[in-house]
Chain A
Amino acid sequence: EVQLQQSGPELVKPGASVKISCKASGYSFTGYFMNWVKQSHGKSLEWIGRINPYNGDTFYNQKFKGKATLTVDKSSSTAHMELLSLTSEDSAVYYCGRNGLYAMDYWGQGTSVTVSS
């Protein structure tokens, strides 16, 4: 069974960074791109970017360049996203989503990030 297990909620101070994780199981981790998506409270979905776990190639939404850094640890089948220089605008739920043959076919449960002093 394919599962994406994300790390727990984060409360961080403005200006700080946070790294959230997405541990994959039940499939070949290096065989599928991993996407990251932001959902601000009560709002729609924004694609942050994706990473190819096989070779580490990344594709970013220009809006999130400099804000998000995507990496993977193949040894633990885990994808990571680091968010930098956090502001209140970064408070949201962040999802990882596996890219299937077409579209995002499996999603993590989401990680809530709250930026507050």
Chain B
Amino acid sequence: DIVMTQSPSSLSVSAGEKVTMSCKSSQSLLNSGNQKNYLAWYQQKPGQPPKLLIYGASTRESGVPDRFTGSGSGTDFTLTISSVQAEDLAVYYCQNDHSYPLTFGAGTKLELK
């Protein structure tokens, strides 16, 4: 199974700050045929289901604010929030969408300082 390792486990931030969180996979998520990275990012707020933010490592889902940016390739990926808003406080998960079984990271919890 592909192991997804997220860091840090939690981040304490102030509104307006830039935030970066990491996701590393134990195997490459790059499909050599189409050169796409099968890595997704989700946001989950308390009592809600996960919400898809980013797929293909860097493509923003429709309706997701452009302050959210995904980057990386192969085994190293990053989610950046350019200017954190109060509504961004949540847990963020990365997901291997490349190989079965699909696997998720343990999450990064974004908290207010």
Give the number of residue pairs across the A-B interface with Cβ within 8 Å.
55
Given A44-B106, A108-B49: A102 and B97 interface contact (C-beta under 8 Å): yes
A residues touching B (Cβ–Cβ < 8 Å)? Answer: 35, 37, 44-47, 59, 61-63, 95, 97, 100-105, 107-110
Within residues 11 to 69 of chain B, which ones have a CB less than 8 A from any CB in chain A?
36, 38, 40, 42, 49-52, 55-56, 59, 61
- The answer, yes or no, to whether B104 is at the interface (CB within 8 Å) is yes
B residues touching A (Cβ–Cβ < 8 Å)? Answer: 36, 38, 40, 42, 49-52, 55-56, 59, 61, 93, 95, 97, 100-107
Chain A to chain B: the 4 pairs with minimum beta-carbon distance, closest first:
A103-B40, A107-B49, A61-B101, A102-B55
Which of B40, B49, B93 has a CB less than 8 Å from the CB of A102?
B40
Kindly name the residue among B59, B93, B102, B104 whose own CB sees the greatest number of chain A CB atoms within 10 A.
Answer: B102
Chain A residues in 8 Å Cβ range of B38: 102
Which of A44, A101, A107, A110 has a CB less than 8 Å from the CB of B93?
A44
On whether the beta carbons of A107 and B50 are closer than 8 Å, the reply is: yes
Given A95-B49, A103-B95, A107-B50: A44 and B102 interface contact (C-beta under 8 Å): no
Chain A residues in 8 Å Cβ range of B104: 44-47
Task: State A45–B94 Cα separation when bound (angstroms).
Answer: 10
Task: State A109–B55 Cα separation when bound (angstroms).
Answer: 21
- How distant is B86 from chain A, measured CB to nearest CB, in Å? 22
Chain B residues in 8 Å Cβ range of A35: 102
On whether the beta carbons of A45 and B51 are closer than 8 Å, the reply is: no
Task: State A105–B102 Cα separation when bound (angstroms).
Answer: 15
Task: State A105–B51 Cα separation when bound (angstroms).
Answer: 7
Task: State A46–B103 Cα separation when bound (angstroms).
Answer: 7
On whether the beta carbons of B101 and A104 are closer than 8 Å, the reply is: no
- How distant is A104 from chain B, measured CB to nearest CB, in Å? 6
